[in-house]
Amino acid sequence: MYGASAVVCAASLIWSGLSAVPVDAGGGGHRGLALASQESELRPGVPAGVTATAGPGQGAVSFTAADTRAVSFTVTAWRGSVRAATSTGPGSPTVVSGLSSGVSYTFTVVANGTSGSSAASLPSRSIVPTGPVTNTAAVASDRRFVNQSVSFASSAGTVSSRRPQASESSTTTLYNPASQGVPVGKEWRLLWLRAVNCEAAPRLMEFFVHQESPTQTALAKFVQGDVWRAGQPNRAVAVAVPANGGQLSWVENRGEPLILAAGQSIGARWYGMVGGARSCNWQYGAIEQPAGTGIAATSTSLPTATVGASFKGDVAGLRSSWRTVPAGTYWLPTSVRATNCETGPRRMDIVLLGPGNIMQGVVTSAVGGSGPVEVPAGGTWTWTASESSSRLLLPEGWGLGVRWLDMRGDAPTGTCSWSATVSVGAMGGTAAAFDSSMG
């Protein structure tokens, strides 16, 4: 890919130089070519020795400049052959942020000068960013959406991770004693949770609520509909989650909302881990709002829109498709429908794509949480928001779509498709309009 890009870049430069050469029998063309050659010599050389160090949702990229003609350097993060993010800085190292925890990236560097830019460097070795990635967005005048993705390497035994914390670490440490939970004067209304089993065998997993201050106390363990409360015998309510990327999801039940008070935290727990696995991950979406807000009972409708896409079933492997929430708005999906165009059953799930991290997981009201669902050959699957399966929230810049996990490419003339109906609200709009749209 990098070689092809360099060829295209070189071809563009050659075409640019030739087009500037006048048709001059007296030799003006030769002078133009000489000038173009001189300008090319003034461009910075290609950076070398590109290395990257993983951090929480970012990579710190170091390199060596070829000469002193560069005034800045542009670093590009690649997820496979896809350009994931870029960052421009005055020198080495340059940090590229907004990367997904638990995903592999390589990096290339271009030197920028007053007379042009160099070709891209050779790619670095791959890294996998770890640690938490936090995204926030104001969705009403007095509240905001908070999302965090936490990635880490597994260790042996029972592994627990909880958020929010006063400070974060890019190491495998999961809990900092300085954790303070939800800020004073605020509450968190949990919208959804998702955890991934990164190990090579099934593991028991669950979610939990913990009181961080003024005293540390376990409050509740739960999966979906199975709750342990303080004072009961300490028992696991966890369920077995498949190996190598199996998912456990929870979604808000509007009839019994999960609201964290100041000083409380939300967490995920894995039992019986062996250790040494990378890309363990859990994520949540919550509304941070004034304490005592809860869920408003007013009824105000929001305008709706239909989004979706289609593609030919002629490529094997993992297939994803999504649409991005326009600036200045947020989406509340009311239904998502996907069609399998292939000749056998295939697994799919809903994709929520956020800045810096990806969340996948079909959201259901099943006691055992949720994961990919199997869609029959030529069949459809539909998720619909309800009282027991509340709406998801996607702020501006996020994406909504579907992901097919094991396509075989055996329907070259068939069309796979998906569509979603979403309610559309204004970012920073009134609190009443936001709350009333969730029912």
What is the full DSSP assignment across 251-318? E--TTS--EEPTTEEEEEEEEEE-S--S-EEEEEEEEEEETT-----------EEEEEEEEEE--EEE
pTM for the predicted model, two decimal places: 0.73
Between vectors from CA 47 to CA 46 and to CA 51, what angle results, nearest 5°?
145
Q: Is 31 helix (H, G, I), strand (E, B) or coil?
A: helix
The residue range of the domain holding 309 is: 304-436
20 and 83, same domain (yes or no): yes
110 and 256, same domain (yes or no): no
For residue 311, the model assigns a pLDDT of 85
For residue 38, the model assigns a pLDDT of 57
193 inside domain: yes
Q: Exposed (0-12), middle (13-18) or buried (19+): which is 325, by Cβ within 10 Å?
A: buried
283 and 137, same domain (yes or no): yes
Which of 238, 267, 290 lies at the terminal end of a domain, its last residue?
290
Q: Is 56 helix (H, G, I), strand (E, B) or coil?
A: strand
Interhelix angle 28-42/2-19, rounded to 10 degrees, is 140
Output the six-digit token pair for 113. 């000068």
Report d(CA 3, CA 119) in Å as an integer: 10
Sheet strands (E) in 67-169: 72-79, 82-89, 94-97, 106-113, 116-117, 131-140, 143-152, 157-163
Which of 59, 93, 117 lies at the terminal end of a domain, its last residue?
117
For residue 301, the model assigns a pLDDT of 73
CB 367 within 8 A of CB 226: yes
Which of 67, 83, 117 lies at the terminal end of a domain, its last residue?
117
**How many domains does one find in the chain?**
3
Query: Nearest CA to 148 among 331, 325, 281?
Result: 281
236 and 138, same domain (yes or no): yes
147 and 103, same domain (yes or no): no
Query: Nearest CA to 372 among 325, 412, 404?
Result: 404
**Which residues in the chain come in under a pLDDT of 50?**
1-27, 166-179, 298-299, 437-439
125 inside domain: no
282 and 140, same domain (yes or no): yes
